Structure 1
Amino acid sequence: MKSVKGTRSMRARNIQKIIRLNRSEAQDLQKKAKKACVSEAGLIRLLLKGYEPREKPDEKFYDAMRELSAIGNNINQLSVKANTLGFVDAPMLKREAQRWHKFQADIERVFLRPEKSEMKWQ
């Protein structure tokens, strides 16, 4: 099966590794995987690639993201309407909409995406 760079089929993972943990280590792995909303295997794979997953943000984050998304959509709608009617500075409005969408992507990057680890042994 061919895989596209960056995306691999689950079937590409055909090597099984068995590790032994004590009860405390097993509970710690389970707790950390749950906090990051990934499987235990997924957590280990992220760590092996040098990424430290982030904990899932609380509901306030998602409320803010929904609000931000609504604002961005409204600005885009205003931009389309202003461009059609020709009485608002459409380029300025469009730049503002792009700014909001960039902000939304930055928030997702900061709060959700794993970041590269600074661990020296990698």
Structure 2
Amino acid sequence: MSGRVRTNVVVIHLSDSELIQLNKDVTVCKLSRENYLRMLMDGYHPKPAPSEELKDCLVQLRRIGNNINQITYVANCTNDINTDMFKNCHDELNEQYNEIMKVITNVKEDNMNGNN
């Protein structure tokens, strides 16, 4: 015995279109078929995995957030704020916001056009 927790095998028959849809869904969610189906059985409908573009935006947002925290820390310690650094962070934050909105808009358009 291999020590598997799940020892029962279930075989299902799917039409070509059903298999295509299942494969498309698991690819979008970046899950295995087994994990995808288990999640559905548990009542959870898996969401699509975030795009690389969105992941990059989130990394940039974290970097900007860290910069703002550092500026805030120095401002609290010295009772002075570096307005140039703060303006820089503010501008970067606005740029990232616009990038995220573009990604969200593209995802919504893709979903509306059936390209998910």
TM-score, scaled to structure 2: 0.55
- CA deviations 1:32-83 (Å, max 9, x no partner) are 1001111111110111111111223333322321221111111222233344
Q: Describe the SS at the equivalent of 2:7.
A: coil
What's the counterpart of residue 77 of structure 1? 70
Runs of 5+ unmatched residues, structure 1? 1-9, 89-106, 112-122
Question: How many percent identity over aligned positions?
Answer: 35
Question: How is 1:1-122 mapped onto 2 (pairs within 5 angstroms)?
Answer: 11-85=4-78, 87=80
Poorly superposed stretches of 4+, deviation over 6 Å: none
Aligned-partner SS, 1:61: helix
CA RMSD of aligned residues (A): 2.9
RCO comparison, higher one (Cα < 8 Å, 6+): 1
What amino acid is the match of 1:18? V
Which of the pair is proportionally richer in helix? 2
Number of residue pairs matched by the alignment:
82
Give the TM-score normalised by the residue count of structure 1.
0.53
Larger CA Rg, structure 1 vs 2: 2
